[in-house]
Amino acid sequence: MDKQTKIFIAGHRGMVGGAIKRVLERQGFTNLLYRASSELDLRNQAAVNEFFETEKPEVVVDAAARVGGILANNNYPYPFLMENMQIQNNLIDAALQTGVDKFIFLGSSCIYPKLAPQPLKEEYLLTDSLEPTNEWYAIAKISGVKACEAIRKQFGKDYVSLMPTNLYGTHDNFDLQSSHVLPAMIRKFHEAKENGHVPVTLWGSGTPMREFLFVDDLAEAVLFALDNVLPEHLYNVGTGTDLTIKELAETIQVAVGHQGDIIWDSSKPDGTPRKLMDISKMHELGWKHKVELKEGIEKTYGWFLENQNNYKEVKL
């Protein structure tokens, strides 16, 4: 892709959008377009349409979303459904109406059925029931995938959906009320260490298996999708390997240096038993992750230590 191409990164201040912005800047892209939510409310259709008409981006990367872990999804189902649909629908439709030929939509592995065979293949979409604790977010993202697929089918445009596995990394959200499992564990183990290595209580049994991708690797996958015309509409993005939540906790505990006990609260939900992505389609095209989990956790904890007085607190 030409380095002068005008690319709109929606959600550039989030962990994912920020990583995409940094990767594109390092690659020499000089015509990047972005707006803070205070400047452009992506939930406002008229505002989004006016922005597209005025700025006329050539390419759109949709990294904007309302996100959170099990607790946030459970407690706030309506905004997780409605706000995500508003954001993506406004972006996708405005892109179509203003002649944007390339659109990259970012979703989540939670779009796949709770009990789908492992590893998760793209063709498993809509074959069974979703995980109840995050179905609101999943349904919104599924509608975005289908909107992009419909545009490809009807208009022949290069609109592609990338479904990352569980993401983590620098600039993550460490707010214990709304964060995902990995950054929440980093904060819990760090604060327990600071308090004399007191025990850490974690949700569930520790037996579910999860896959984790360092956010910079997802940004590289977006760059790959920008530089290539991908032949299909939906691609999984991950590492292809997983581990139990218990193993994750022990890995983070070592990285942080916490020496106390871990207590598992089995009265709390585990979520989906296993969620491993089949990433063979992206591998066949030539993309592969670079950062392994131990290294990624160490990088994330290092960033956390440097920024712990400025937690990204999410108000719900």
Q: Is the pLDDT of residue 221 over 50?
A: yes
* Structure tokens belonging to residue 298: 């160490």
CA 63 – CA 14 distance, rounded (Å): 8
The encoded tokens of residue 299 equal: 């990088």
Task: Please tell me whether 141 is known to bind a ligand.
Answer: yes
Please report whether residue 125 resides in a domain: yes
The domain total for the chain is: 1
CA dist., res. 160 & res. 284, Å (int): 17
> 235: domain CATH number?
3.40.50.720
Q: Is residue 315 part of a domain?
A: no
Q: Is 266 annotated as a binding residue?
A: no
Enumerate the H helices of the chain as residue ranges: 15-26, 45-55, 70-75, 77-97, 135-155, 181-194, 215-227, 245-256, 280-285, 293-307
**What is the per-residue pLDDT for 311?**
58
| pLDDT value, residue 244 | 97
- Dump pLDDT digits (tens) for 297-313: 999 999 999 988 765 54
Is residue 108 assigned to a domain?
yes
* Cα distances (Å, whole numbers) of residue 244 to 23, 207, 214, 248: 30, 6, 17, 6
Asked if residue 109 belongs to a known ligand binding site, the reply is yes
167 is in an annotated binding site: yes
Structural domain contains residue 141: yes
Q: Which positions are catalytic?
A: 137
d(CA 230, CA 265): 44
Compute the distance between CA of residue 191 and CA of residue 158 in angstroms, rounded to an integer: 46
108 is in an annotated binding site: yes
Q: For residues 236 and 231, what is the distance between their CA atoms, to the nearest angstrom?
A: 14
Domain presence at residue 21: yes
| 85 is a domain residue | yes
**Is residue 156 annotated as involved in ligand binding?**
no
> Is 164 one of the annotated binding-site residues?
yes
Which of 36-45, 171-180, 269-278 holds the top average pLDDT? 36-45
Residue 236 within a domain: yes
Note the pLDDT tens digit of each residue in 106-157.
Answer: 999 989 998 899 999 999 999 999 988 889 999 999 999 999 999 999 999 9
Range of the domain at 31: 7-310
In a domain, 316, yes or no: no
Q: Take residue 312 and report the two structure tokens written for it.
A: 């990204």
Q: What mean pLDDT comes out for the span 77-98?
A: 97
pTM comes to: 0.92
